[in-house]
Structure 1
């Protein structure tokens, strides 16, 4: 009895906006509303035009106890803009069922009906429960759209496998209402970084030679942005200090854009005092030209010499602060990975280091995949190759565990010191 009571309170007073798109699984949504409300949630429903062909607005209004919204421009809404009112009301947005069509429109940022528009207008986390024919789900376009949504921090719930309305068997069934309610409940309760402020550096830096040329590297920023998205999903307040990348800022994260290593250092030092955890994932240039020529250098000789000077070591500076955060570094190596990673861990006095072998073509720079060897003073673990967003969640679980252990050890030392006095 006690267990059931605690479980129900996890969604207590959470405002869940349920978006229903056109698909046969829409007939299950009145039961989904009931399951969410049984767990204490407040539920409001938005129907797309095609969803009305599969489920009655009146039925959803009856089980939710709230009017069902369907029109983008609603005279009954505040300032006739229902998408803004609903976007501000929602703590969580759940799209179930999410058709292949709606997933495609969401991936490209369309805003041509109420549901798609409020998805752009809200800062609430988005959760998508795919529901479609197995071949549509397996299609390259659908998989790319799902990867795009995942990269933006959208949580994908399902799909399940089994017999479908068309008679096919395979992946594409919407999770059952009870499974969806429990999955959402789990996501909202399993947030080990809640209340934690995380500062992450990401991407490359560009060190100017003249107004049109610079020194840089192959970093895409994908790992750093995946970490930011995952950290936000796990409850953290996240700030990214990012070099030049072709990536969108994950929902709910603050991004400070920089160019050079000196720019990055300045931004980090202005933010680090507020951070509990610092993750140095950026590929910061080790050197910069001693002088930046003010005009474009003309090609006039067979050879050109550049004098390079060392850039500041941002990671070491953060680790040397008197009231330092928990400091995590990255090491991109092409050989002797463990040796160089452990040396960097010790030399820079880091709490943890995540190392990857960038000599392998299918992982690391500019790849969707990665694998990490993670070291800390008293232990290590290996995170096998997978997509960077899944890997980011695994790494953050390790970081959260070691951060908590360090905090607990510090608290014990404080208690011991207080007792001794």
Structure 2
């Protein structure tokens, strides 16, 4: 019994020691954080005149000068933090001047050394910093680091840095292929990384459309969704019937993002595609892009075998302003087409029921009243239980 009590006492002492150690560690970290915060405030005040000098001379042709005197490591970090705040907000020649200043201050060289650290977090932090500075000399080291990195968020930290630092397509291409090798369906992330580059990646993306690697094709289709490129547009339709459903959908999304280039024949083909997800995506885009010429296709889409396509087609008609809303009212009256009629009526009532939400938005309120007038032209009176449901006491001026 005594031996058992001794063991409990020893265990209690161990726990007390551990608690004290944890407490001291937390206290130390808190003390260090307070010290760093005070040091940062001190150096920000000390160099305020220098920061004012940088801002006032940023638009001049002459290079920016370094602060006078020798800088401590902490001072250099504070100045780096301030410069990075500006560099994240500006582009063009002014940003390049700040990059040159970072080189002159030794910040690029400092972070290049940190890239060789044994500590993974330090290497990532250095990569991020070099990306902010758009340090072109860092690209080879960053590319090597990316080649050694496993798939995950750290790989994309490095990739973003490369994208910002790269000076030519070859450097960007190497980065993209390094990410594509993971085969993790990360094309959307890669497209976002490419958007950070100062290099025009249009030709690179167009070239990927002719690759046999489907991951590169998906990256291209994703990246080209927000770019109007007639030359690339001609290469996209061949993916509409690919075996990979995601590839089909990406091809459709890329094509419909160039709505002004779509022929009437292609619009019809897409709305009759064998993949319901494709048909739904096309119907959604017709409404989002305000393509009034697709009213008949959307009306036909309301008879589709897939419920999502029917609903998306009906809601897209709502986005085509007067033309689309009139089409819905016409369909709601069609008793010979019960599926279309019932769906049109449901969508109309759902939309009119939102009226009370629009009174703080003048444009939406005006558009809502226009829909009410159109509704009354077809049905000769207000929607069922309109006053109770919508609360029109504030402004039904139809």
Provide TM-score, normalisation by structure 1. Answer: 0.27
Structure holding more helix per residue: 2
Structure with max Cα Rg: 2
Provide TM-score, normalisation by structure 2. Answer: 0.29
Higher relative contact order (CA 8 A, sep 6+): 1
Structure holding more strand per residue: 1
